[in-house]
Structure 1
Amino acid sequence: MVTPGGARPKLSRELIVTKARAIADASGLDALTLRELAHALGTGQASLYRHIADRRELLGLLVDDVALEFPTADPGLAPRERLLKVWLDLHAFLSAHEWVAKVIAEGEYISRNAAPFAQRQLDSLTGAGLGTEDAMRAYRTLYNLLLGFLLNKHPMGHHLEAVPPSTEDEEFRWAVSRFLDCLLPGEPPQGQ
């Protein structure tokens, strides 16, 4: 990676994470090796070790980086609509970064940057009338539903003629909407 003047930009953790994310987005997580990353940065693999300990640390940094971009929804929306919007937006965001769901699902990396997202969801759920324990269970259910949709590419049942074809986005919208309908029965859906 060389700038127009011919000089390489100074290697930094931020630059390493940015390039690693670009590789993972373009080619998948399996393509993200430290050797490939060093090559893409125009440096030697040993130079990376001045900024990161290993691939494990790099993946943790990538999860932290992505979590900063988790969506927020308009607090002026009714709780059910706010929840629906943010989970649909998160599904769209993570669909654009396919490797993230796998890393999250493996459970090895806990991002401190994801905590504000989780807290906003818990606040929305308690604001909709759920108790703290039910809000936590609902949050975990929504998160597992999201990961299930992102990770499961098996077309089970889609070959049936009686089932009209739909996109993954439509299927996810349907699932989250129905879950919220059951969870928040006192709040009628708007525009559904």
Structure 2
Amino acid sequence: MKDPAIVTRSPRRRVDQHKIVARAMRLARDDGLQAVTMRRLADELGTAPMTLYRHIPDRQALLLAMLDEVARGVAWPPPASDPRAEITAVLTAIHDALCRDSWAIGLIVTDKLAGPSIVPALERMFAALRRAGLTPRDSRVAFALLWHYTVGELLDSHMDAPDDPIGRRMVRESDPDAFPTLAAVVAGVPAGPPGDWFPENLQRVLDGLLPPTARHDAG
């Protein structure tokens, strides 16, 4: 017969940084970034919050590790010799990855966080801009515009939001007699989320950024 003074505890599960980040990613995808707290993670992993701090110093470090995991999971295309094709391929790969992990968009835009695994992609982007004939300064300006377009499109079209938000519905239901041009433009656009205009608008942006000799078809 067991001594009643002896309390049997369930054994704590072994955790490491990889397991912590993987579970945090799952929580963010399933329940949103607000669900990712150290206490919730500890409960999910069957351990104590203090155990997590042995591997991750604080929540910001966890968020950086999660962003780095997103970057490592990007399906990077092989390098292209044509600058326009290279820029298009790299930005499209980033865009597609952030569509899958939309919880990361706010961290990148608002908190200005990024993991080190994104640096090779930045090198490719700037190398392509320089090959296209842009000066170092113009390359920085051009990259800023390309990045702002990419994250702006993600914020507008891929963040968790109603399919028919109030602003879009308000425009669609405006008085056609008072706003005839607006009514004509939106008449053929169905209700719901906007179309996938990222690829064609990216090419429009590149038309304005790249010198004429670099304006090849991106294929």
Q: CA deviation at 1:68?
A: 2.3
Task: Determine if contact 1:70/1:114 at 8 Å carries over to the other structure.
Answer: no
Task: Determine if contact 2:71/2:118 at 8 Å carries over to the other structure.
Answer: yes
Secondary structure of 2:197's counterpart equals helix
Q: Does 1:113 align with 2:117?
A: yes
Q: 1:118–1:168: structure 2 CA closer, same or farther, 3 Å change rule?
A: farther
The structure with the largest alpha-carbon Rg is: 2
Name the residue aligned to 1:143.
147
**2:78 aligned to 68, 74, 90, which one?**
74
Runs of 4+ that moved beyond 3 A:
153-159, 162-169
Q: 1:127–1:164: structure 2 CA closer, same or farther, 3 Å change rule?
A: farther
CA RMSD of aligned residues (A): 2.7
2:68 and 2:199 map into 1 onto residues whose CA distance is: 26
**1:50 aligned to 54, 57, 62, which one?**
54
Q: Does 1:123 align with 2:127?
A: yes
Q: CA deviation at 1:64?
A: 2.1
Q: CA deviation at 1:80?
A: 0.9
Specify the code of the residue in structure 2 equivalent to 1:29.
Answer: L
Secondary structure of 1:170's counterpart equals coil
Q: Count matched residues.
A: 186
Specify the code of the residue in structure 2 equivalent to 1:41.
Answer: L
Q: 1:168–1:96: structure 2 CA closer, same or farther, 3 Å change rule?
A: farther
Q: Does 1:183 align with 2:209?
A: yes
Residue ranges of structure 1 left out of the alignment (5+ in a row): 1-6
TM-score, normalised by the number of residues in structure 2:
0.74
89-98 or 35-44, which moves further after superposition?
A: 35-44
Q: CA deviation at 1:53?
A: 1.9
**1:25 aligned to 2, 25, 29, which one?**
29
Q: Percent identity?
A: 31
Q: Deviations over 1:101-143 (max 9, x none)?
A: 1111123424222211111100011111211111111111111
**1:35 aligned to 22, 35, 39, which one?**
39
Task: Determine if contact 1:33/1:55 at 8 Å carries over to the other structure.
Answer: yes
Q: 1:54–1:40: structure 2 CA closer, same or farther, 3 Å change rule?
A: same
**1:171 aligned to 197, 202, 213, which one?**
197
TM-score, normalised by the number of residues in structure 1:
0.83
**2:187 aligned to 147, 161, 185, which one?**
161
Q: 1:175–1:165: structure 2 CA closer, same or farther, 3 Å change rule?
A: farther
Specify the code of the residue in structure 2 equivalent to 1:181.
Answer: D
Residue ranges of structure 2 left out of the alignment (5+ in a row): 1-10, 158-164, 173-185
Q: Does 1:65 align with 2:90?
A: no
